[in-house]
């Protein structure tokens, strides 16, 4: 039996659940926890790679190789379809975008989103964003589409034009993006359900809503987004933010109190960790191997 490609698994998840909840996983362990919780798709955030792996801001500092390291670690242990943030393509030319798409697919990515910000990009919910011309973004999309080595790889075009050019202009851009081959649209920093309603009504492909905390978009529920036809609901860094706050609390408590007794209830237990990573399966293999050696 031929195994489904990662792209095909992503498309199957889109069909199976609406809106498809896509949860951010900052590392392989979080990917396994997301799988254990029942999610059908996961996400690797560029801002998460920058902050989590490099300790740097989301300002186009991380490279393709930085993303590939985290991507491979996740896909090595978790077979949930993974959507990857590829920023502006990791380079100024079509050749950079071609290389990026091929590398992402080879590393196991099922989908990616490519944005229309200028090369010196910013977080999508920050002021001061600059976007490239429609023509330049069309060139980016065409390069990405032509680079697909998995025909089912799901390419999402992200627009940051709502903030700088308005909804009408963003919609006009997105129609062109679809004509160039985008499989879906990421309407970044939409501020109300009526805006999402316009995207789903006027465009013919699945629309992604980025429901990130502390940003420009309200924390709409699945039911609210379903009511306006949203196909994908992204939670890019929810678990990462919670893990960071928990780590800060634990560090401060241990430093101040000289012990961890006050925060032990906040910790994942050893047994829970072992269950998540399949520790006992590995140990059983070791026992079987050593038993066989003794018999020899």
Catalytic site positions:
43, 58, 85, 87, 113, 115, 123, 158, 188, 210
89 among annotated binding-site residues? no
Contact 142, 114 (CB under 8 A): no
123 among annotated binding-site residues? yes
The strand ranges marked E within the chain are 20-24, 41-44, 82-85, 111-115, 154-159, 184-187, 207-210, 232-235
Q: Would you state the torsion angle of the CA atoms of residues 11, 13, 18, 23, taken in this order, to the nearest 10 degrees?
A: -110
Q: Of the candidates 12, 23, 30, which has an alpha carbon nearest to the alpha carbon of residue 154?
A: 12
124 among annotated binding-site residues? yes
C-alpha to C-alpha distance for 211 and 218, rounded to whole angstroms = 7
23 among annotated binding-site residues? no
Contact 43, 209 (CB under 8 A): no
87 among annotated binding-site residues? yes
47 among annotated binding-site residues? yes
Q: What angle do CA 228, 229, 231 make, to 5 degrees?
A: 135
46 among annotated binding-site residues? yes
45 among annotated binding-site residues? yes
**Binding-site residues, please?**
45-47, 85, 87, 123-124, 158, 188, 210-212, 241, 270
**Binding-site residues for Mg(2+), please?**
85, 87
**Binding-site residues for substrate, please?**
45-47, 123-124, 158, 188, 210-212, 241, 270
């Amino acid at each position: 039996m031929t195994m489904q490609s990662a792209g095909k698994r992503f498309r199957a998840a889109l069909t199976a659940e609406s809106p498809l909840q896509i949860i951010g996983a900052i590392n392989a362990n979080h990917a396994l926890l997301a799988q254990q919780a029942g999610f059908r798709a996961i996400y690797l955030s560029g801002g998460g790679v920058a902050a989590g792996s490099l300790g740097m801001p989301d300002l186009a500092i991380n490279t393709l190789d930085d993303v590939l390291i985290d991507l491979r670690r996740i896909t090595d242990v978790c077979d949930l379809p993974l959507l990857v943030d590829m920023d502006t393509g990791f380079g100024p030319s079509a050749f950079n975008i071609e290389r990026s798409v091929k590398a992402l697919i080879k590393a196991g990515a099922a989908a990616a989103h490519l944005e229309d910000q200028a090369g010196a990009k910013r977080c999508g919910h920050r002021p001061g964003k600059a976007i490239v011309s429609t023509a330049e973004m069309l060139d980016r999309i065409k390069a990405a589409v032509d680079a697909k080595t998995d025909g089912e790889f799901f390419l999402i075009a992200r627009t940051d034009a709502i903030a700088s050019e308005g909804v009408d202009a963003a919609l006009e851009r997105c129609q062109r993006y679809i004509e160039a081959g985008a499989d879906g649209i990421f309407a970044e920093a939409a501020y109300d359900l009526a805006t999402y309603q316009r995207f789903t009504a006027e465009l013919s492909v699945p629309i992604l809503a980025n429901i990130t905390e502390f940003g420009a978009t309200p924390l709409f529920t699945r039911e609210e987004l379903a009511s306006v036809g949203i196909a994908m609901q992204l939670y890019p860094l929810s678990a990462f933010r919670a893990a960071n706050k928990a780590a800060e609390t634990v560090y401060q408590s241990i430093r101040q109190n000289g012990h961890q007794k006050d925060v032990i209830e906040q910790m994942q237990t050893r047994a829970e960790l072992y269950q998540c990573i399949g520790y006992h399966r590995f140990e059983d293999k070791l026992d079987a191997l050593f038993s066989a050696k003794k018999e020899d």
